[in-house]
Amino acid sequence: MDLIVSKKWLLARMYEPDLVIVDCRFELGRPTAGQEAFAQSHIPGAIYLDLEVDLSSPVSTHGGRHPLPDPDVLAKRLSQAGISNNSRIVAYDDQGGMYASRLWWLLRWLGHDSVYVMDEGFSAWKDGGYPITDAQPTIIPASFVPNLRHDMLADMNKVKQSLSNPGVLLVDSRDASRYAGEQEPIDAKAGHIPGAINSFWKQVSDDSGAWKSDQLLSSQFSRLTEAMDKGQEAIIYCGSGVSACPNVLALHKLGYSQVKLYAGSWSDWISYEENPVATGEE
């Protein structure tokens, strides 16, 4: 089954008992905006999980702006939200799939495969005349037991070791100007990890906000997939480990499940003063 599901697919199955719909809307700089949007209207039966409250650990010296949540803490939160190891989860947001993809990655990291992202997002659902509600869902707690996939993750030391390893390809998922170090609106230093190539995460979608076909994605990621076909390893990062997730998801769609996420990403990398920084193109 495809990892991206259509609005029609979800409409046909939204009341099936093992399906859990998760609203992941969030806005950087406005931390309550997603919760407020959910309270106003959401897909019927959906629960809300917040990027910074539920899907990240508190910020500290290292780990980036959105550190990975503790697996046991996240599993407990998923259980409270009614998600079990037998649940099918469909995540959505209204930000191009960035936050929904974060939940997708986290669940895969916890060993759960039955997780999908709804194409296009909430505004397309609403504008398409699909049902919405402001009713708070009734949540029946469940039991979610994590089974961590450590091989999905790269830490700072792994990335640092890769700088001198031609068998590892680093991919920066931020927009071209941040990658090149021309501007940096969020983090303390501008630039990218030396040797990284750039593949802006928003390019997984077309101009309408729908995910591109596998054929288009395959063409777009050809440099990366050709490297992996030859046995190279790929590590994907962004600013804080969130917007890299759509790129990881796209590669999974194409059958490249061995790709790793550098969860701390650029904001973790620059928290170590000694780490080198590159600017311009690679």
Residue 90, strand partner residues = 21, 116
Question: What letters, b where the CB count within 10 A reaches 16 and e where it falls short, cover 112-128?
Answer: beebbbbbbbbebbeee
Residue % of the chain over a pLDDT of 90: 99
Would the pLDDT of 268 be above 90? yes
pLDDT at res. 169:
96
Would the pLDDT of 217 be above 90? yes
Query: In the CATH scheme, what is the homologous superfamily, with its name and number, of domain 4-127?
Result: Rhodanese-like domain (3.40.250.10)
pLDDT at res. 1:
82
- What is the rounded average pLDDT of the residues 242-266? 97
pLDDT band, residue 282 (cuts 50/70/90): confident
Question: One fold for both 4-127 and 150-269?
Answer: yes
| H/E segment holding residue 88 | strand 88-92
Please give the structure tokens belonging to residue 15.
């009341």
Would the pLDDT of 147 be above 90? yes
Question: What letters, b where the CB count within 10 A reaches 16 and e where it falls short, cover 183-222?
Answer: ebeebeebbbbebbebbbbebbbeeebebbeeeebeebbe
pLDDT at res. 75:
98
- What is the rounded average pLDDT of the residues 127-152? 97
Contact yes or no for 55/31 (Cβ under 8 A): no
Dihedral angle sign, alpha carbons of residues 190, 193, 194, 196: negative
Query: In the CATH scheme, what is the homologous superfamily, with its name and number, of domain 150-269?
Result: Rhodanese-like domain (3.40.250.10)
Domain extent listing, the chain:
4-127, 150-269
Would the pLDDT of 166 be above 90? yes
Q: Given the structure tokens 């590892």, which residue do they identify?
A: 168
258-267 per-position pLDDT tens digit = 999 999 999 9
- What is the rounded average pLDDT of the residues 76-98? 98
pTM (2 d.p.): 0.98
Contact yes or no for 159/120 (Cβ under 8 A): no
Q: From CA 275, how far away is CA 268, in angstroms rounded?
A: 10
Query: Which amino acid does the sequence have at 131?
Result: P
225-240 per-position pLDDT tens digit = 999 999 999 999 999 9
- What is the rounded average pLDDT of the residues 17-42? 97
Q: From CA 71, how far away is CA 146, in angstroms rounded?
A: 7
pLDDT band, residue 61 (cuts 50/70/90): very high
Known catalytic residues?
238
Helix (H), strand (E), coil (C) string for 102-150: HHHHHHHHCCCCCEEEECCCHHHHHHCCCCCECCCCCCCCCCCCCCCCH
